[in-house]
Amino acid sequence: MSNPINIVIVGGGIGGLSAAVAISLAVTPTPKVTILEAAKELSEIGAGIQVAPNLTRLLVDRFGMADAVTKHAIAPRFVRQVRWEDGRELTRANLNENDRCERAFGHKYYYLHRVDLQGMLLARAVELGVDIITSAKVVSYQHIADIGGETVTCADGRAFSTDLVVAADGAKSRLSEYVLGAQVPVTPTGDSAYRATLPREQVVEDPDFASLNFEEGSVVWLGPLAHVVGYFVRGGSTYNLVIVVPDDDKERNEETWKLKGDPEKLRSHFAGWDWRLRKLLDKVDAENLYLWNLRDRPMLPTWLVPEAGNLVLLGDAAHPMLPYVGQGAASAVEDAVALAECLFHADKQNWALRRAIEVYQDVRRPRTDKMRMAGHKNRDYFHMIDGPEQEERDKKLATNSDVEKTPNQLDDPETLQDMYGYDVYSEIRRALGAAN
């Protein structure tokens, strides 16, 4: 790999843009990086993202985006988990209070809007010379064995030849079928997630919400078969709500954030819940409410196209995650940094591309599966039905300690060290050293 390589990234979401940025920064000679995006323009529907320290570390240290992060993000002091029926505090986990995350993991914990994160990554990619082509829906892939190249073809017939294809085309990845030889099986979780946003003034100017301390941190209502998370994004101008409820339409198969939600149907799930939450939900209108039917997918046995081809999966295409633990975006960016380092190393050690992407897969699959399983565990924790198990959970939560074992994964010191203290750059460098 002495000449600049040609890389096509399929998908212009957070994973695809992160891959483009990471590769452009790490690989020498500077590769030609092209993003093919199916949509007419790069855009994200309004939803918040929890930027834990393991993601902050990459955005700041590896991508050089510290100023953009602090411009758009909110740094919460803490997250409060409260009981569903009366809003009574069950536990409070410090995030940036007393500099907890910065002292323990080297970086702050932030909340960002998806639009802002994608915009930041897009600007960085353009700055680095990435070619972004929209209205380019990739429908097929072919490995050209006699010349050792790869080709992807779009719905309109355009074909792109390249040395490496990075499939970052989401949970419903078309290119994953070339890796597995079949569609990825999908299992309904029994949950649906609503996303809603409210203007700041509707939240902070209402005295009924003062006791919830919205401006200090996030609030999570834990209840039977449902939970609600609220926090500010967009520099504090917008309040973001994530509301997970039992799926009330088993026949609805559409899996997209673009499905509009029904405010009345949403509110019907919360009879008997904390009156302040119900008042908050009363402010939600149809214009700013979206619904996603949550579907689960298994850990994939491989992320690489069989045999000799250079097609590799990244982000949700490789490891779709349910939104219960806040590590989906972080995992995609970690993938991007790991892949970029493997490609950099391949050039220095004169490796074939195939060997580089094999090391990437071997390092990332165990980590992402651990985050997937943490999400499943959190779903059970959030959605406990009232009874002995819930009472035992609440009793243990009452310790409110930063150092003692707790059933709350997102406050447990050992779990957080594994999750937020994780440095993918260091891990991939160790793996590459061992692979020489």
Residue 226 confidence (pLDDT) = 98
Distance CA 280, CA 273 (A): 11
pLDDT tens readout for residues 337-357: 999 999 999 888 888 899 999
User: Quick check: is 355 in a domain?
Assistant: yes
Which pair of structure tokens corresponds to residue 338? 């790991």
Distance CA 98, CA 197 (A): 29
Q: How many domains does the chain have?
A: 1
Residue 44 confidence (pLDDT) = 64
User: Quick check: is 372 in a domain?
Assistant: yes
Chain center to CA of 59: 14
CATH number for the domain harbouring residue 62: 3.50.50.60
Which pair of structure tokens corresponds to residue 412? 């447990």
Residue 268 confidence (pLDDT) = 96
With beta carbons less than 8 A apart as the criterion, state whether 229 and 242 touch.
yes
Residue 256 confidence (pLDDT) = 65
Residue 398 confidence (pLDDT) = 87
User: Quick check: is 273 in a domain?
Assistant: no
Domain of 22?
6-185+298-435
Residue 145 confidence (pLDDT) = 81
User: Quick check: is 281 in a domain?
Assistant: no
User: Quick check: is 251 in a domain?
Assistant: no
Q: Rounded to whole angstroms, what are the CA distances from 334 to 126, 261, 338, 361, 367? A: 20, 32, 6, 12, 10
User: Quick check: is 33 in a domain?
Assistant: yes
Q: Rounded to whole angstroms, what are the CA distances from 240 to 112, 289, 375? A: 10, 11, 20
Task: Look up the pTM and report it.
Answer: 0.95
With beta carbons less than 8 A apart as the criterion, state whether 243 and 266 touch.
yes
Q: Rounded to whole angstroms, what are the CA distances from 30 to 2, 6, 59, 158, 322? A: 11, 10, 20, 25, 35
User: Quick check: is 176 in a domain?
Assistant: yes
- In sequence order, which residues have a C-beta less than 8 Å from that of residue 385 and are 6 or more positions away? 224, 225
Q: SS3 sequence, 303-367?
A: CECCCCCCEEECHHHCCCCCCCCCCHHHHHHHHHHHHHHHHHHHHHHCCCHHHHHHHHHHHHHHH
What percentage of residues in the chain have a pLDDT greater than 90?
Answer: 85
Distance CA 277, CA 90 (A): 16
Per-residue pLDDT of the chain (436 residues; tens, 9 = 90+): 568 899 999 999 999 999 999 999 999 889 999 999 999 988 766 689 999 999 999 999 999 999 999 999 999 999 999 999 999 999 999 999 999 999 999 999 999 999 999 999 999 999 999 999 999 999 999 998 877 799 999 999 999 999 999 999 999 999 999 999 999 999 999 999 999 999 999 999 999 999 999 999 999 999 999 999 999 999 999 999 999 999 977 656 666 667 899 999 999 999 999 999 999 999 999 999 999 989 999 999 999 999 889 999 999 999 999 999 999 999 999 999 999 999 999 888 888 899 999 999 999 999 999 999 999 999 999 999 999 999 999 999 987 666 578 999 989 999 999 999 999 999 999 999 887 7
